[in-house]
Chain A
């Protein structure tokens, strides 16, 4: 009885140990990936979205930063400028539009809605201020507008 159990479990043990090592290495890898400086080095003046979630809690790929350049579409389908494969995000979810040196966010009739500082967006565009929290699906961003603080 014990022999059979032990023989079966030894395979399970090894599998779990390697799963553990894999998961640690995966987290460390995500850590390194998150040190993505391209946005900050090249386009410092460009406003960007900054992820607040811990990336390891999300089961899909998200970048740490998304630079906003011109009109930017965000959604789940591949034709968007920012593609996030979150099942709670609609195919085309939101649009970011620059106007008079400010950025506006607009919800494109998404199923689960877009929240700016915990208030759900209505149909009209809303001005984004530096530090605004934008939540859609499981993902939460902070809007950072570096250009407005330049002297």
Chain B
């Protein structure tokens, strides 16, 4: 327990940051804002409680949540400083997001039929697109808001998740079930399967272009192209997609006035500084104003940038926390993406693999596009910075996606069979070998569900073949190999292992005595 308040524990650092920042925000305006303190306490409490649950119950990778907690904390500080009303709402969305995070985690982990719902994903996203196009609200030139009563949300955020899931279905080439008894499988011929794949991915792209959500369209395409690159082994198909992208971009530039404006203001924002180039130049001024360490919270004027709460939050962070703060945000996204890729490498089932990679890519590309946009590295397209920007739909769906990623990190640590996925049969021969090879003890090891080969040395056995001989040789010892992420669990673990050892040592004792008799 002595390590509880050590600087080495990242969660302590988050708490310190939040505590300092919210006390500072409390002093920011002269009639003291008494709502700041309970808001800050709520944030700290939520982060600590969730982190505690994740580590104590060992719900998979703990770094994912830590990193996103840091990012959302930076977001709260900035948004609260810009506008306390929005800040408070963002904290409310965060509470909802945490709930949804755990909900999506458990649902995604518990039910393992996600790879069979391909047609549901496609039809729901289609329905959402049509609804937005017909009933949607126009905000800032993009028709992408859906209003239900008082509550409005951005369907494209939800569609992101559906899109990734449908792509993952395609890449795992799973059997698709619509109703009980009626099952449709993917076309076996590679050409037809690729046509289905391309249709599934270009359909949302078309709708997004109709809604004038260029940024989201680019994110979708990049996720799709990278997944094709990672999972489809035909270079020609990838080249075809790349060609289609270039063609689409050129055609868009030629025909669509909006895109041409974006590119022009990107190339030279100073030409029309008061009009089209206003946003981007204000953002550049803000970043320049910040310098290395920033002006200090509450001392800059990031409120001069239009849409600073959502798209331009990165410029505000750069102005008030300096370029060091900005680089820290980018680094945080780096580690987040790294963790995601690591998880997707570890899981064997192709469906979960593609899902994990897709979610990670979505976070990564979204960050790249919006940060690249506000620092004038690439043409600006308005999307949110995941976890940091203000926005209920964005924050909650990001947390849902994070919950799924977290669930995959648990699935990745399940030994041998990760889920009844379609890819599992691929690895079954290996599992059989271990069963017959190691005899009783081997199959026992297979059944031991909660034991994971997580952080431990088993993790490197990405090919099932290399796992098998280990299980064979170590027999019952194999269960001891997992450094359970939790001490309590460990104790149980050991007890379990001991019991098993007792059982085994009975058998072994007999076997051993036979040997000595010889």
**A residues whose Cβ falls under 8 Å from a Cβ of B:** 1-3, 5-7, 9-14, 16-21, 23-28, 31, 34-37, 39-40, 44-45, 50-57, 59, 64-65, 129-131, 133, 142, 144-146, 148-151
B512 A50 Cβ-Cβ under 8 A: no
Q: Which of B9, B16, B21 contacts A23 (CB 8 A)?
A: B9
| CA gap between A17 and B483 in the complex, in Å | 29
| CA gap between A137 and B439 in the complex, in Å | 38
List 12 A-B residue pairs with CB atoms under 8 Å apart, sorted by A's residue number: A2-B27, A3-B296, A6-B298, A9-B296, A10-B320, A16-B16, A16-B17, A23-B13, A37-B457, A129-B505, A130-B501, A149-B441
Q: Which of A9, A12, A28 contacts B338 (CB 8 A)?
A: A28
Q: Which of B20, B335, B483, B490 contacts A25 (CB 8 A)?
A: B335
Residues of A within 8 A of B16 (CB): 16
Residues of A within 8 A of B403 (CB): none
- Mark B46-89 against chain A: 1 for CB-CB distance below 8 A, else 0: 00000000000000000100110010001000000000000000
A50-B455 in contact given A13-B20, A20-B10, A44-B473 (Cβ < 8 Å): no
A19 B7 Cβ-Cβ under 8 A: yes
The reply on B423 being an interface residue by CB < 8 A is: no
> Which applies to chain B's interface (DSSP): helix, strand, loop or mixed?
helix
B324 A14 Cβ-Cβ under 8 A: yes
- Which 8 pairs of residues, A with B, have the shortest CB-CB distance? A149-B475, A6-B296, A131-B501, A10-B296, A20-B13, A17-B328, A144-B477, A14-B324
Residues of A within 8 A of B67 (CB): 24
| CA gap between A37 and B462 in the complex, in Å | 13
- Mark B315-358 against chain A: 1 for CB-CB distance below 8 A, else 0: 00000111011001001100100110000000000000000000
| CA gap between A39 and B487 in the complex, in Å | 24
When C-beta atoms are compared, the residue in chain A nearest to B323 turns out to be A14
Residues of A within 8 A of B10 (CB): 20, 23-24, 27
Please tell me the number of chain B residues within 8 Å of chain A, measured between CB atoms.
67
Cβ < 8 Å to A, chain B residues 90-124: none
A131 B459 Cβ-Cβ under 8 A: no
> Which applies to chain A's interface (DSSP): helix, strand, loop or mixed?
helix
B460 A35 Cβ-Cβ under 8 A: yes
| CA gap between A57 and B3 in the complex, in Å | 7
B494 A149 Cβ-Cβ under 8 A: no
A149 B474 Cβ-Cβ under 8 A: yes
| CA gap between A18 and B7 in the complex, in Å | 12
| CA gap between A36 and B460 in the complex, in Å | 9
A34 B328 Cβ-Cβ under 8 A: no
Least Cβ–Cβ distance between B60 and chain A, in angstroms: 13
The reply on B405 being an interface residue by CB < 8 A is: no
A64 B483 Cβ-Cβ under 8 A: yes
- Mark B22-36 against chain A: 1 for CB-CB distance below 8 A, else 0: 001001100000000
Least Cβ–Cβ distance between A146 and chain B, in angstroms: 5
B331 A52 Cβ-Cβ under 8 A: no
Least Cβ–Cβ distance between A52 and chain B, in angstroms: 6
B27 A18 Cβ-Cβ under 8 A: no
